[in-house]
Each structure stands twice: as structure tokens, then as C-alpha cells.
Amino acid sequence: RDNLLRTVYALFTKLHKGSPEYNQLAESGDCWYNYFDPGNIPRYGYERIQERHSAELQEVDLLRANLNSQIPKRAASTIHTFAHQSTRIEHNTLSLSSSLSILLALENGLFDTLDSTSIPALALPNLHLPKAETHLPNSDSSQTVELRNHIIANHWVVQNAPHRLGTPGLDLREIQSLNALLLKDTVSEALHKTSWNGPTPLGSYRRSPIRTSGATLTIYPYHLEVPSLLQKWIYWRNETHEKKLLLPLILACHIFIFFQHIHPFLDGNGRVGRVMMMDFMMRQGMLPVVYLAGELDEDIGWYGKAVGRAQDRQAEEFVEGVLRAELGGLRDIRETMKKTTFAPVR
């Protein structure tokens, strides 16, 4: 890892630390970006994967076109499942039934008085939310609010994304606001107040280098590079979407992996990345994907390893997992409709 770091940032050895040239290079993010080139579609294998799975991807496109009126309804019914799976990946131990209990409480309280379509993402972190003990009085409060926050974020996406069909996704301020919401009232909020380089407000970009327990060899960019890299990421996302360089499901995967490699926040990168991916998929008329088959630890291990391999130019396993889940969900809607209607459903 140290040798790779020296290779990635070799240009800095020719500059005096603290000089204007040094600082300009650091803030540009160019060393990290030019070495990893994370938006390079052929280099990371997405074109090859798209070709290999062309038949399944064509089926996805056919189903999402034929089932377009049913997909938002199904997405709404999976809010608590998606939140449970996403927090489970982060080692939240609460059960799926606990997630459903929180959702039902929110539907009879907060969601009943809240018009999510009229609330901008920037206002979400400032919502007055019920305390953890009102949902699950005998459970870990931080895990409860983590799950609660994710359900609220999912609900906002499900209510808003169908009104923005065909658009490329959330902007950076919306992503920052969702990150702040996801971490609100959790143990992570306290950690933000004592982080290296001083307190970091929720939703702000990290102010220090970062390593993750599941990817100790991964080279994440230095904190000074993050703002510029996110600008590059969002420009790439919008341009790739506009030019239709990849099919929507493949692009959703590439957008997510690129974002995860930047790892812009002190915490909550995976959760906000999955919410962002959920939003993008729904804007393209797809179901938001539930990644795991169940509550087994090996499913969680698969997910982390697949993301890591995708960052290392081996994205097939991650894409195949997303494709399986998407196709399975769409086929299930089709079969349900066949049982409840006389109209032919392809």
C-alpha cells in the first residue's frame, strides 16, 4: 500500500510542501483521479459486462417499460426492507420486523403529517424526529435511529424520484443533506464532534485521510482532494447519462462504485451511496435494489468484497448481484399482476 501511495502521489515529491503549486495540486485531485481514472468505462469492465449480460438487461428494459405504473408502488412497499438491508451491511443487528415496526409508527405519525414531495432534501436533517424509545424502547437507541433515519431517507426518495424520471440524479448538496439525515442522533454524530482536524458537521466532507476496516489496502483520496473529485464525479455522471454510454442498470452500478471510491464523508458513505443509487434507479424507472438474500453474515461479506473488487476493476460480481435482484423484483411484479388481471403482461 505504501508503494502504491508513493506511485499515485509521485508528483508531490517534485514540489515544496506548502507552496502554492503544492496546494493547488493537492486541491485539484488530479493525482488520484489520473491514476485510478474511475470513470473509465472500458478500463473498469462495464462495457464487457453489459455485452455479456445483454439478454438479461434487455429483459430488465422490457419489464420496466411494461410495469412502469406498478414499480413505484412496489418500491414504496420495500422501504423498510431496503433500509434494513442497508443498515445490516453496516452491522446493525435489528431485525426486519423491527424495521417494519418503525415504518408503521412513522406512517401513523411523521409521514401522516408530512408532504415529502414538497420538502427539499436540504430540509431533511432539520426535521423534528421522534425519539428512539418511541419506536423500540428495548433496543439499542443508536441502531434504532439509524434504521429510522434510513426509512425516512428512503421514503423521501420513493416520493420524489418518480416525479423526476429520466434525470441523472441528486446534486451534491442533496447528497450532503441525506448523509446528515442518515447520521442524525446516532453514535456517529458524537464522533463527528471529536474528529481529527476538529469537529466535522454532519453532511460536511471529511477533513482527514480515511481507511476502512473492510478495505485496508484501498487508496482513498486525501481529504483536500474530495471537493474537486466530487465535481469530477458529478460531471462524469451527468455526461455519461446524457450520452447514454451505458444502460441505466450498469450506469447505476458504476456511479455507485465511483462514489464509494472517493469516500467523501467521515461516516455513512455506504448508506448515502445506496440511497443515491436507489434514487437514480427509480429515476430511470427501475426498482430500488435490495442487495442481500437474507440476514446471513456471508451475504454481508459478499457485498463488501464485491464493492472492493469493483473498485479494483473487477465489477462483474457486484453488477451481477444488482442485476439478479432487479430482475427478480421485476419478474415478481409481473407474476403478481398475472394473478390479479386478465390483461396480458409480457
Catalytic residue list? 263
**69, 95, 150, 301, 311 from 314: Cα distances, Å:** 35, 32, 29, 16, 7
CA atoms of 245 and 241, how far apart (whole Å): 7
CA atoms of 121 and 177, how far apart (whole Å): 6
Provide CB contacts within 8 A for 251, sequence distance 6+.
Answer: 240, 241, 245, 280
Measured in whole angstroms, how far is the alpha carbon of residue 84 from the centre of its chain? 14
Residues annotated in the binding site, as ranges? 267-274
Grid cell at residue 116:
415529502
> Radius of gyration over alpha carbons of the chain, in Å?
20
Please give the span between the terminal C-alpha atoms of the chain, in angstroms, as a whole number.
Answer: 51
Residues annotated in the binding site for ATP, as ranges? 267-274
10 Å CB burial of residue 108 (0-12, 13-18, 19+) is exposed
